[in-house]
Amino acid sequence: MADERIDVLVIGSGAAGGALTWRLTERGAKVVCLEQGGWIDPTSFASAQLDYESHLVRGDFHLDPNIRQRPEDYPVLVGGDYPIDVSMFNSVGGTTIHWQGHFPRFHPSDFKVRSLDGVADDWPVSYQDLEPYYDLNDNMLGISGISGDPANPPRSARQTPPLPLGKMGKTIVSGFEKLGWHWWVSDQAILSESYNNRPGCMLHGKCMFGCPMGAKASTDRTYWPLSIDKGAEIRTWSRVKEITVNNKGEAKGALYFDKEGNLHEIKAKVVVVCCNGIGTPRLLLNSKSSLFPQGLANSNGQVGRHYMTHPYVMGYGIFEDKMDSHIGPMGIPFLSQQFYETDPKRDFVRGFTMQGERTFGPFSQSFGLPWGASHHDAFNEVFPHQAGISALIDDLPDPNNRVELSEEKTDSNGIPAAKVIYSLTENTKNQMEFAWLKVKEALETAGAKRVYRFPLANGAHLMGSARMGNDPQKSVVNANNQTHDVPNLFIVDGSSFTTGAGVNPTSTIMALALRAADKIWEKRSDWN
């Protein structure tokens, strides 16, 4: 297939790809996005089915591509001392289809941990650099919440009021207040009332399996319709094999397979990779050539290194009263950042966010209960009497935690799969044990008669594997998300994170994408 040379080729249509494409098309750029999945019919979401909870263990809406095995998925092998549970989705909207919608921002301190705490590296951008893009993104999506959180910089009024805390939220919050600990209603990218032609949340309670009504701000319902109206093209079922380069070492475009397995080429002045913290290094490492024998943008061997996730510590309490935690959106109703910043009295640096956790329905709450004559009594004690708190850990980068290519498996087009090697650092281990004590204390103070720790290995937040920095020997992209090795190649997703912070990454991913789009547009005269 012969394509005219477009302005910008975007690979991946999730949080970053959607935001960046909209911003560039608003400016007037001709943008084509290649997405290896397709449009998902909202009526087909697992959340619209009676058996939605079965997708926790099987089915084509499972969080883990290794389990659901849709044709558009690729295998992800795992290794290390703490193998992750992979969570990602391939479709228009990417993993925002599965996303809970929790929408906190990084703290200013998260961008300068080397200066403040002597660990990891400072980002080459600051909170102040991203603040206008955080605000722009909030206005585009519509965020529910309340301004004024004393743990964070001031921000503009939220677009819609907060979603209800519910009985579980009010109960756990009482524990924080008795302890004198900070808490605040969470920002959520889930509307509480109608906004920009999208309806408010109906408290359906199954957000992680797709939002049929569109109250959750997945990019298939927010940025993509606007981008397409402005002339952007999205080519679905287009799996990229490699990014091509010319004899000057500049990105030329991409080779990609269509749904029938036919190979095509597309050429562009600028190429932007938005494939997440696993998919992006996988594509770069697979894009080998005589000029880039170690993979594209990898002359320093840093592509795939410093992979980060957010290990969770999660506790559930059993209460005498009914909590009805299965009712309401899965997005976090409130958070506490009492232990977010470094305290020299502790045996770790940085900190974590504690989050109120709703539960799934009766099926998931029967896991682990005895079968037989005692089953109903055990079940009635648990359901609907559970409420939870998770602690999301700031996982500092380690070069040994990495994404590499598998020598064992390929996807259905023969492209080598990804392999993620991940182990906990001592700092993370110490943080997790301290966090568990605080989670347990909060639940008990709130009145839980029994507290248990839920085993969890998070692989939903995929960060750091093509990191941002000023030093070309230690990083893959610069402050504008432009690769050091290839001037017209940009990496815009969680893989560019220098550090992971102690909050969910999506708000920051999207702010960086909007900023990167502006930086690309400012330099458009260079891409001829």
pLDDT at 457: 63
pLDDT at 237: 98
**pLDDT tens digits for range 35-58:** 999 999 999 998 888 888 888 888
Pair type for strands 458-459 and 251-257: unpaired
**pLDDT tens digits for range 249-268:** 999 999 999 999 999 999 99
Residue at token pair 């397979």: 257
Does 389 fall in a domain? yes
pLDDT at 204: 80
Average pLDDT, the chain: 95
How many CA atoms are closer than 13 Å to the CA of 502, on its beta-carbon side? 31
pLDDT at 22: 98
Which residues lie closer than 8 Å to 38 by C-beta, 6 or more apart? 72, 91, 92, 236, 237
Residue 482, phi then psi, degrees to nearest 5: -95, 130
pLDDT at 473: 97
- pLDDT above 80 for 278: yes
Alpha-carbon span 253 to 287, nearest angstrom: 11
Alpha-carbon span 374 to 343, nearest angstrom: 47
Q: Are 432 and 393 in contact (CB under 8 A)?
A: yes
The backbone region for 475, taken as left when phi is positive above 0, alpha when psi lies in -120 to 50, beta otherwise, is: beta
In which domain, by residue range, is 67 found?
A: 6-526
Lowest mean pLDDT among 63-72, 210-219, 321-330: 321-330
DSSP state of 144: B
- Give the mean model confidence (pLDDT) for residues 279-287: 98
Alpha-carbon span 518 to 253, nearest angstrom: 21
Does 1 fall in a domain? no
Q: What is the largest CA-CA distance in the chain?
A: 75
- pLDDT above 60 for 400: yes
Q: What is the CATH number of the domain that holds 398?
A: 3.50.50.60
- pLDDT above 60 for 1: no
More confident call, 373 vs 456:
373
pLDDT at 51: 87
**pLDDT tens digits for range 313-327:** 999 999 999 999 998
- Give the mean model confidence (pLDDT) for residues 416-425: 97
- Give the mean model confidence (pLDDT) for residues 488-492: 98
Does 51 fall in a domain? yes
Alpha-carbon span 31 to 19, nearest angstrom: 12
Q: Which two tokens stand for residue 102?
A: 């929790």
CA 252 vs CA 167, 258, 370, 424, 518: distances in Å: 56, 19, 60, 39, 21
- pLDDT above 70 for 153: yes
Computed on alpha carbons and rounded to an integer, the radius of gyration of the chain in Å comes to 22
Q: Domains in the chain: how many in total?
A: 1
- pLDDT above 50 for 62: yes
- pLDDT above 90 for 33: yes
pLDDT at 3: 58
233 confidence band (pLDDT: 50, 70, 90): very high
**pLDDT tens digits for range 163-205:** 999 999 999 999 999 999 999 999 999 999 999 999 999 988 7
Please give, one letter per residue, the 3-state secondary structure of 325-370.
CCCCCCCCCEEECCCCCCCCCCCCCCCEEEEEECCCCHHHHCCCCC
- Give the mean model confidence (pLDDT) for residues 410-430: 97
- pLDDT above 50 for 276: yes
